[in-house]
A and B are shown apart, each in its own frame.
Chain A
Amino acid sequence: MQNTLEKSKGTSQSLWVRFLKNHGSILFFAVLFLLSSLFVPNFFTPRNVMTVIKQAAVPLVACMGLMLILTTGGIDLSLGYTLGLCSVLLGMMTKRYGIAAWQAIPLTLLIGAAVGLVNGSIVQFLHVPAFIATLGSGYVLYGIAQIFGKGDAFYQLPEDLLAFGTSRPLMIFAGGVPEEAMKNGLIGQILKLPSYVFIALIVAAIMYVVRHKTTYGRNLSVFGFNAKTARLSGVRTARLNVATYVISSTLVALASVLLTIRVNCAQSNLGGSNYTFEIVTAAVVGGTSLAGGVSSVVNCLFGVLVTKTLENIVNLMAVNIYLYQPLMGVVILIAIVLDAWKNRKL
Chain B
Amino acid sequence: MAEKPILEMRGITKYIFDSYGVAIRNSTVRILDKVDFDLNRGEVHILVGENGAGKSTLMKVLGGLIPPDEGEVLLDGKVIRPKNAKEALEAGIGFIHQELNLCGNLSVSDNIFMGREIVRRGVKDKSAMRAKSAQLLDEMGVTNIPPETLVKDLSTAQQQIVEIAKVLSYDCRIIIMDEPTSSLTQREIDILFALIDKLRAQGVSIIYISHRLEEFERVGDRLSVLRDGQSIGTLERRDFDVDTIVAMMVGRTLGAMYENRHVPGHEPVLEVRNLRLEEKTAPISMHINAGEIVGMGGLVGAGRTELAKSVFGYRKCFGGEVFYQGRQLKTLNPADLIRHGIVYLTEDRKSEGLVLDMDVAQNISLASLFRMFPRFFMFGGKERELAEKTVSQLNVVCNSLSQLVRTLSGGNQQKIILGKCLATNPRLLILDEPTRGIDVGAKAEIYRMIDQIAESGVAVMMISSDMPELIGMSDRIYVMRGGAIVAEIQDKADMTQENILAYTIGKNA
Q: Is the pair A234, B22 in contact by a Cβ cutoff of 8 Å?
A: no
With contacts A233-B420, A234-B334, A235-B335 taken as known, whether A226 is within 8 angstroms of B404 at the C-beta atoms is no
With contacts A1-B22, A231-B334 taken as known, whether A213 is within 8 angstroms of B355 at the C-beta atoms is no
Given A11, A209, A235, which contacts B377 in the complex, CB threshold below 8 Å? A209
> Bound state CA distance, A311 and B356, in angstroms?
38
Residue among B343, B346, B354, B369 with the highest chain A CB neighbour number at 10 A: B369
**B310-344: which have CB < 8 Å to A?**
312, 314, 334-335, 337-339, 343-344
B334 proximity list for chain A (CB < 8 A):
231-234
Q: Is the pair A2, B346 in contact by a Cβ cutoff of 8 Å?
A: no
B194 interfacial contact with A, CB 8 Å: no
**A1-46: which have CB < 8 Å to B?**
1-3, 5-6, 9-11
> Bound state CA distance, A215 and B402, in angstroms?
18
A214 proximity list for chain B (CB < 8 A):
373, 376-378
> Bound state CA distance, A2 and B378, in angstroms?
34
A9 proximity list for chain B (CB < 8 A):
403-404, 406-407
A267 interfacial contact with B, CB 8 Å: no
B420 proximity list for chain A (CB < 8 A):
233
Q: Is the pair A236, B335 in contact by a Cβ cutoff of 8 Å?
A: yes
Q: Which residue of A lies closest to B25 (CB)?
A: A2
A119 interfacial contact with B, CB 8 Å: no
Q: Is the pair A234, B314 in contact by a Cβ cutoff of 8 Å?
A: no
With contacts A10-B403, A213-B378 taken as known, whether A234 is within 8 angstroms of B353 at the C-beta atoms is no
Binds B, one of A81-89, A217-225, A254-262: A217-225
Number of interface residues of B (CB under 8 A): 43
Q: Which residue of B lies closest to A293 (CB)?
A: B357
Q: Is the pair A226, B370 in contact by a Cβ cutoff of 8 Å?
A: no
| Cβ proximity bits B47-67 to A, threshold 8 Å, 1 near / 0 not | 000000000000000000000
Q: Is the pair A225, B344 in contact by a Cβ cutoff of 8 Å?
A: no
Q: Is the pair A234, B367 in contact by a Cβ cutoff of 8 Å?
A: yes
Given A1, A11, A233, which contacts B366 in the complex, CB threshold below 8 Å? A233
> Bound state CA distance, A293 and B354, in angstroms?
13
B342 to chain A, nearest CB (A): 10
> Bound state CA distance, A233 and B22, in angstroms?
29
B338 proximity list for chain A (CB < 8 A):
233-234
Q: Is the pair A11, B403 in contact by a Cβ cutoff of 8 Å?
A: yes
B369 proximity list for chain A (CB < 8 A):
215, 218-219
| Cβ proximity bits A293-312 to B, threshold 8 Å, 1 near / 0 not | 11000000000000000000
A11 proximity list for chain B (CB < 8 A):
399-400, 402-403
Q: Is the pair B352, A229 in contact by a Cβ cutoff of 8 Å?
A: yes
Q: Which residue of B lies closest to A235 (CB)?
A: B335
A26 to chain B, nearest CB (A): 20
A1 to chain B, nearest CB (A): 5
| Cβ proximity bits B381-413 to A, threshold 8 Å, 1 near / 0 not | 000000000000000000110111011000000
Taking Cβ atoms with an 8 Å cutoff, the residues of B that contact A are 18, 20, 22-25, 312, 314, 334-335, 337-339, 343-344, 346, 351-358, 362, 366-367, 369-370, 373, 376-379, 399-400, 402-404, 406-407, 420, 424
* 25 CB < 8 A contacts A-B: A2-B25, A6-B25, A9-B407, A10-B399, A10-B403, A209-B377, A213-B377, A215-B373, A216-B376, A221-B358, A222-B358, A222-B366, A225-B355, A225-B357, A226-B352, A228-B352, A229-B354, A229-B355, A230-B355, A231-B334, A231-B335, A232-B346, A233-B420, A234-B370, A293-B357
Taking Cβ atoms with an 8 Å cutoff, the residues of A that contact B are 1-3, 5-6, 9-11, 209, 213-219, 221-222, 225-226, 228-236, 293-294
Q: Which 10 A-B pairs have the closest CB atoms?
A: A234-B338, A233-B367, A215-B369, A233-B366, A236-B335, A225-B355, A234-B335, A9-B404, A9-B407, A228-B352
Q: A218-B369, A226-B356, A235-B335 are in contact. List 9 more A-B contacts (CB 8 A).
A: A6-B407, A11-B403, A215-B369, A221-B358, A222-B355, A228-B352, A232-B334, A236-B335, A293-B355
